[in-house]
Structure 1
Amino acid sequence: MHLPRRTLLAASLFTALAATVPAQAADANTVTVMVGGINKIIYLPAKLTEVLGYFKDEGLVVDLQSQPAGVDAENQLIAGAVQGVVGFYDHTIDLQSKGKEIQAIAVLCKVPGEAQMVSTKAAPTFKSMADAKGKTLGVTGLGSSTDFLTRYLAESKGVPSKDYSLLPVGAGNTFIAAIKQDRIEGGMTTEPTIAQLLKTGDAQVMVDLRTEEGTRAALGGLYPAASLYVQNSWAAEHKDLAAKMARAFAKTMQYISTHSAEDIAEKMPKDYYGNDKALYVSALKASLPMFTSDGRMPAGGPETVLKVLAATKPAIKGKNIDLSKTYTNAFLAAK
């Protein structure tokens, strides 16, 4: 039996529409998040949220992508290529000074979780940031948070930026190679790179920003760092999605605060720690105090970050920055 052409067309159209409905429904809960170096322990909550199933529990499909430096991740966000970034909160302030409104909707770290390292070879004549004159210092990328913090640490010891050089060397193996090859005398990096350098003896910790005590001593207060941030306009238009994302990360922060480094390491993919799981656990133990327990912005944190940025960035100094637009706890459960 031959069906009329109109009937066949209608059937084909119905089939096509039926096929697209589930895809559209799925797309409505699909979010792409760029992470400023997914293997860094400061950004561990991103992958941990995925492996614990908390994104799935919220009905989300989250595509985690990685960029070695936070500044590259923020560019992807501004371009609209991704909906969220797991990177440093300080970018929200920096971008507001450039007319872009970005806000952290979940704060993962209350301190930077980084350390200013000095190569063992340079250590005899490079004892503090007051000795930075004439040195070449490594950062993940120019315009990155490691850049902001390095400049502040040097400036606070009376060494202006014109007196030293910053070299973008990334993190992990590329940072370690720069130290070993004497391309840099020191630099700002994170775990597990710090633990690897300490184990081999190639570098030492000069300024420790992995703890509250060290951060307060160096920066004058808590410095909220690793965060999930999005464009303010996107959050306003996708309140349900933003709330689901914030809740998923908050659950992870609660998990981290109630589990050991060993428990957490067991959840992570093997390529995060390679053939030295003990080193990874050691690095994770040193890092656990930096995480928030609930994803909320710590009191006084934004003011410390603004102070640090204003001291080193002419574009921010004297600008009227509205901190209330750089973060929100509104998508998290009320205390």
Structure 2
Amino acid sequence: MRRSREGKDVMTTLLRRIVAVAVLLAVLVSGGAPASRAAEKVTVGVGGVALMVYLPTALAKAKGYFAEEGLDVEILDIKGGGSQAASALIGGSVDFSANAIDHAIKARTRGKDLIAVHSHVRLPVMGLVVANKYKGEIKSIADLKGRPLGVTSPGSQTHMVLGYLLVKSGVKADEVKIVGAGGNTMPLALEKDSVHAGMMVDPFFTVFLKQGKGYALVDMFTTKGTVEAMGGEVQGTTLLTRPDVIARRPATVQKMVNALVRANKLIVGSSGEELAKALPRELSGDPKLYAESFEHAREAFPADSLVSREGVARVIETMRVFDVVPAGTKIDPESLFDNRYVLKALGR
């Protein structure tokens, strides 16, 4: 009887071990192993994450799109605006940066290469706003001569576009004072009279005008407004990276773009109210005002996420106006972007 019981105990133990092994194998086959694998760390530099032009990056993070691609994305809100974010990318402090394409153009003139792999917005998404106290004095861009004018940061796209508008209206660069007033602090600079007019982005543009504190000389949140001011399409904010990142981590680049393409599709198909709810409160602020700001800028977000060759070419020509791109320097627009990752994400 004792041997019989011992035999049963041995069989029971063996059966339990067999079941445990079978369960373990089932977990491994069903994908349990990848779940324990650490997500790949990625850093993205942004010069003011609450600005509307960075919505695709902020939304992809908030909705978990990066995480679903196996990425642990850290968004670094870099002081000093887009210029400093681009400098961080060039210097290797971050893997990617959300920046206007003009930063890739400037880098090229200095012998550095930055490549755009995703289009956040395909318009400038900015406007030239004047403080209300100057309503009787400033009626055109020509009236800005001799005045302090705000840009988000010196060398940023807001600076490049403002410079182009000034030259187009007969105002020379040395006839105005350019002040780096920040993106989210531009309204305060106008209210304190630190600048008389400034290049403002959403959500601050819409809020400032709605509050009756200023008026717009130029509105480039729509295709119509952009064509009137700039003569055609202008490529706006993109996801930039370095050639060495593309060479060493092509799968990572694809995963980043996959997430951002999803974000752009969600943006195009959502209302402003829905997007405000999807973002952390520290980014959306007042949900109602954020929703209104988005609707004002809606047209700028491309459903296909593709970088526009025409838009890049126009930015290059805009930058020639005040010699950021020296006369005689040839830059092929297509050398500044790579749409292959977006096309793959779109299944094309």
Tell me the TM-score normalised to structure 1 length.
0.89
2:46–2:78 CA contact under 8 A, matched in 1: yes
**In the alignment, is residue 164 of structure 1 matched against residue 172 of structure 2?**
no
Match of 1:289 among 279, 287, 299: 299
Q: Distance in 2 between matches of 1:316 and 1:283?
A: 37
> Which amino acid is the alignment partner of residue 273 of structure 2?
E
- How do 1:179-198 and structure 2 match up within 5 A? 179-198=190-209
Measure how far apart 1:165 and its partner are.
Answer: 0.8
1:137–1:185 CA contact under 8 A, matched in 2: yes
- How do 1:1-150 and structure 2 match up within 5 A? 26=38, 29-68=40-79, 69-150=81-162
> Which amino acid is the alignment partner of residue 270 of structure 1?
R
2:115–2:243 CA contact under 8 A, matched in 1: yes
**In the alignment, is residue 206 of structure 1 matched against residue 217 of structure 2?**
yes
Structure 2 CA distance for partners of 1:247 and 1:317, relative to 1, 3 Å = farther
1:107–1:227 CA contact under 8 A, matched in 2: yes
Match of 2:274 among 263, 268, 275: 263
Measure how far apart 1:166 and its partner are.
Answer: 0.4
Q: Which residue of 2 aligns with 1:319?
A: 329
1:101–1:325 CA contact under 8 A, matched in 2: no
1:89-135 CA deviation, whole Å, 9 max, x = no partner? 11111110111100100011010111011111112221121212111
> Which amino acid is the alignment partner of residue 130 of structure 1?
A
> Which amino acid is the alignment partner of residue 114 of structure 2?
I
Q: Distance in 2 between matches of 1:284 and 1:315?
A: 33
SS in 2 for 1:94: helix
Measure how far apart 1:325 and its partner are.
Answer: 2.0
Q: Which residue of 2 aligns with 1:4?
A: none
SS in 1 for 2:150: strand
2:309–2:333 CA contact under 8 A, matched in 1: no
1:58-94 CA deviation, whole Å, 9 max, x = no partner? 1111111112410010111111110000111111111
Q: Distance in 2 between matches of 1:110 and 1:225?
A: 5
**In the alignment, is residue 241 of structure 1 matched against residue 252 of structure 2?**
yes
2:271–2:291 CA contact under 8 A, matched in 1: no
SS in 1 for 2:76: strand
Q: Which residue of 2 aligns with 1:175?
A: 186
1:58–1:248 CA contact under 8 A, matched in 2: yes
Q: Distance in 1 between matches of 2:122 and 2:160?
A: 17
Q: Distance in 1 between matches of 2:209 and 2:238?
A: 27
SS in 1 for 2:302: coil
1:222-250 CA deviation, whole Å, 9 max, x = no partner? 11111110012221221111111111111
1:51–1:267 CA contact under 8 A, matched in 2: yes
1:310–1:318 CA contact under 8 A, matched in 2: no
Measure how far apart 1:299 and its partner are.
Answer: 4.3
Structure 2 CA distance for partners of 1:314 and 1:250, relative to 1, 3 Å = closer
> Which amino acid is the alignment partner of residue 328 of structure 1?
D
Q: Distance in 2 between matches of 1:289 and 1:202?
A: 25
Percent of pairs with identical residues: 29
2:319–2:325 CA contact under 8 A, matched in 1: no
* Length, aligned pairs only: 309
> Which amino acid is the alignment partner of residue 215 of structure 2?
Q
316-325 or 130-139: which moved more? 316-325
Tell me the TM-score normalised to structure 2 length.
0.85
Q: Which has the larger radius of gyration?
A: 2
1:251–1:294 CA contact under 8 A, matched in 2: no
Q: Distance in 2 between matches of 1:133 and 1:154?
A: 9
Q: Which residue of 1 aligns with 2:166?
A: 154
> Which amino acid is the alignment partner of residue 249 of structure 2?
H
Superposed CA RMSD: 1.5
> Which amino acid is the alignment partner of residue 156 of structure 1?
K
Q: Which residue of 2 aligns with 1:15?
A: none
1:134-181 CA deviation, whole Å, 9 max, x = no partner? 111001111111111110010011111011110111122x21121111
SS in 2 for 1:142: coil
The answer for unaligned runs of 5 or more in structure 1 is: 1-21
